[in-house]
Chains A and B, each alone.
Chain A
């Protein structure tokens, strides 16, 4: 791929698309052909922008599936790992993207379809456990509501990252960047080698075991909009990249104490809540 329009970095920076595309890339946005103007700009400016972002310790990546994204490899640009809900939802969306049944709708799926697919592939119990960590017993109705809430939240975050496009309140269009979720299993049946390679390149990181790390809650019980481990600009620059052990140690598990569940002793009878669907 060669740049046809921008000879120097100055030309690219002076283009009216640059500020928006630059900000979007730094915030983790994946840019594909559906973002026609941004994609065209990146194609034209690719050769001059790659060395530009390399100076920030980041790689401007183009995938053959037809999308760009910025991958920070050093510590100059902030980065984060996707949380458990985002990963599960992203992988389920990728399965839907690969499913020929969705070709009829042009890649449009509803949230209900996604939830049904997640429940089918993972099993309802596993899904609830995955999205409600550290709960030995739970009220089924509240747990299901929590799953729905977390899936909706994950969808919103994935839409902000350019993996899906929100068409209506409950309808989404699947985008090619979803194929990133399939990268670790793309190369061969034994994905361990591919995974190691991706971890080494900084594309993926092993998730902390046992603990859901991505969604923080404020002391009042409301979920914050931002992800917990997202470092601020200064701390990210100064501090070394946290290891898995650091992430686990740094996590305050009390943050997860009020998701609407209570640890109960075995044999205790659970009471029905009067307010359907409301987190307690």
Chain B
């Protein structure tokens, strides 16, 4: 037999508060966890575990370890030779896999004292202990859980600071309460295994004894059915109360600033919900199985106590019986429901819409800006403006800003046409308007007029 044992020399167990399953898996893979525990090693660990229980010893000397191994070998492999050498190797294997640890710390000074690790006890307890959930054990566990949570709620109420609340409430939540809930889950797994064994046993009983096994099969069915019914009744009754208590504790801790209680309470609530869901799922599954087996016992076993039917049918299928036959079954074809017919629509041919290609002419006011500009310049000259800058300013000033610059050049051209323009040898630049600078001319109106 080979069962699992974690081999990890350098580091401790994986922190269960680590964030994500994927990271946990990566962590395990990175640490190259390996499993190797043979049947003899397992028996050796079991022997140590049993001795520690009966003798109430917490550690074993090297001599005691070898003695235990010798006893196990005598029981399991009486012909084996070199037992002491094999014992030394077995002890080393267990130490390598962190199943056995030295606790004396004396090093080379004297021979060591060893104890089984939690890993070793967990593995071997799985095989040694029959911890199945029953109505009684579940009631006891839930009652203890209820009392502990009530106590914690009182502690949370009386705590005044976050530190106090954390010490009194969060710590126990993480250790004591969680251990209790874990205990329920562990027993659930025990009950699952027990159910599996019952199913196998029912099948084996029928195979072996057929008709004579009916009563025993019914007893097994009833036993598990009663247990599951009790468990569900207890779970449904108590789970809600426990979750409410956890919620009270969480709120009280939150008010006192111990926010780490949130996580602990949430985890415990989830565990309790999982336990309740487990109970319902198992009862449903078992109910189906129960009905099937009862029907089988009633319709098959009781009606065919000698199993002759199976033999005759086997002969029939094997072609050893007479002429072949077929069962007749009704075979009305599905009703034909014709699709509703819709007459096709007449589609008009595709054509381009008719539009007027030539747009009609429209009346528009002529845009005679040149004439208007000439008139404006003339008015400025008439008004007494005698320099180009003054004429330009008078003309472009009223115009929109965007047109002023472009009009300034045309003003000069018109002014030169309407008046005699003169300039000094050095023509000075003069500001004509905002942003417009021009060379200054003097203008005499009569000279070029006409």
Are B333 and A176 touching (Cβ within 8 A)? no
Residues 353 to 412 of chain B near chain A (Cβ within 8 Å)? none
| B81 in contact (CB, < 8 A) | no
Which listed residue (B291, B309, B332) contacts A182, Cβ 8 A? B309
Which listed residue (B199, B308, B317, B334) contacts A91, Cβ 8 A? B317
Q: Nearest CB to that of A173 among chain B residues? A: B292
Q: Nearest CB to that of A30 among chain B residues? A: B329
| B321 in contact (CB, < 8 A) | yes
Contact A206-B323, Cβ < 8 Å, known A98-B309, A181-B313: yes
A204 proximity list for chain B (CB < 8 A): 325-328
| B210 in contact (CB, < 8 A) | yes
| B316 in contact (CB, < 8 A) | yes
Are A191 and B328 touching (Cβ within 8 A)? no
Are B328 and A182 touching (Cβ within 8 A)? no
B317 proximity list for chain A (CB < 8 A): 88, 91-92, 95, 118, 121-122
| A185 in contact (CB, < 8 A) | yes
| B429 in contact (CB, < 8 A) | no
Tell me the smallest distance from the CB of B1 to a CB of chain A, in Å: 23
| A277 in contact (CB, < 8 A) | no
Interface of B is mostly: helix
B299 proximity list for chain A (CB < 8 A): 64-66, 176, 179
Q: How far is the CA of A28 from the CA of B328 in the complex (A)?
A: 9
Q: Nearest CB to that of B321 among chain A residues? A: A191
| A38 in contact (CB, < 8 A) | no
| A124 in contact (CB, < 8 A) | no
Are A94 and B313 touching (Cβ within 8 A)? yes
Are A230 and B327 touching (Cβ within 8 A)? no
Residues 302 to 318 of chain B near chain A (Cβ within 8 Å)? 304, 307-310, 312-318
| B300 in contact (CB, < 8 A) | yes
Q: How far is the CA of A264 from the CA of B314 in the complex (A)?
A: 34
Are B310 and A28 touching (Cβ within 8 A)? no
A135 proximity list for chain B (CB < 8 A): none
Q: How far is the CA of A189 from the CA of B322 in the complex (A)?
A: 12
User: Which of these binds chain B: A100-108, A144-152, A255-263, A268-276?
Assistant: A100-108
Contact A106-B292, Cβ < 8 Å, known A122-B318, A122-B319, A202-B328: yes
| A97 in contact (CB, < 8 A) | yes
Are A207 and B326 touching (Cβ within 8 A)? yes
| A13 in contact (CB, < 8 A) | no
Q: How far is the CA of A95 from the CA of B310 in the complex (A)?
A: 6
A91 proximity list for chain B (CB < 8 A): 313, 316-317
Number of interface residues of A (CB under 8 A): 74
Contact A101-B326, Cβ < 8 Å, known A91-B316, A184-B316, A189-B308: no
Tell me the smallest distance from the CB of A167 to a CB of chain B, in Å: 12
Q: Nearest CB to that of B199 among chain A residues? A: A104
Q: How far is the CA of A203 from the CA of B330 in the complex (A)?
A: 10
Are A103 and B206 touching (Cβ within 8 A)? yes
Contact bitstring A64-83, B, C-beta under 8 A = 1, else 0: 11100111100001111111
Q: How far is the CA of A103 from the CA of B293 in the complex (A)?
A: 7
Q: How far is the CA of A161 from the CA of B314 in the complex (A)?
A: 23
Are B329 and A205 touching (Cβ within 8 A)? no
| B122 in contact (CB, < 8 A) | no
Are B304 and A98 touching (Cβ within 8 A)? yes
| B324 in contact (CB, < 8 A) | yes
B202 proximity list for chain A (CB < 8 A): 103-104
| B295 in contact (CB, < 8 A) | yes
Q: Nearest CB to that of A92 among chain B residues? A: B317
| B296 in contact (CB, < 8 A) | yes
Residues 1 to 22 of chain A near chain B (Cβ within 8 Å)? none
Residues 195 to 222 of chain B near chain A (Cβ within 8 Å)? 199-200, 202-203, 206-207, 210
Q: How far is the CA of A155 from the CA of B330 in the complex (A)?
A: 18
Q: Other CB < 8 Å A-B pairs besides A184-B316, A230-B331, 16 of them?
A: A27-B332, A27-B334, A33-B291, A78-B330, A88-B317, A97-B300, A98-B304, A100-B206, A102-B203, A105-B199, A121-B318, A123-B318, A181-B313, A199-B325, A203-B327, A207-B324
Q: Can you give 8 contacting A-B residue pairs, CB < 8 Å?
A: A28-B329, A77-B330, A92-B317, A98-B313, A103-B206, A123-B318, A182-B313, A191-B322
Residues of B within 8 A of A (CB): 199-200, 202-203, 206-207, 210, 288-289, 291-293, 295-296, 299-300, 304, 307-310, 312-319, 321-334
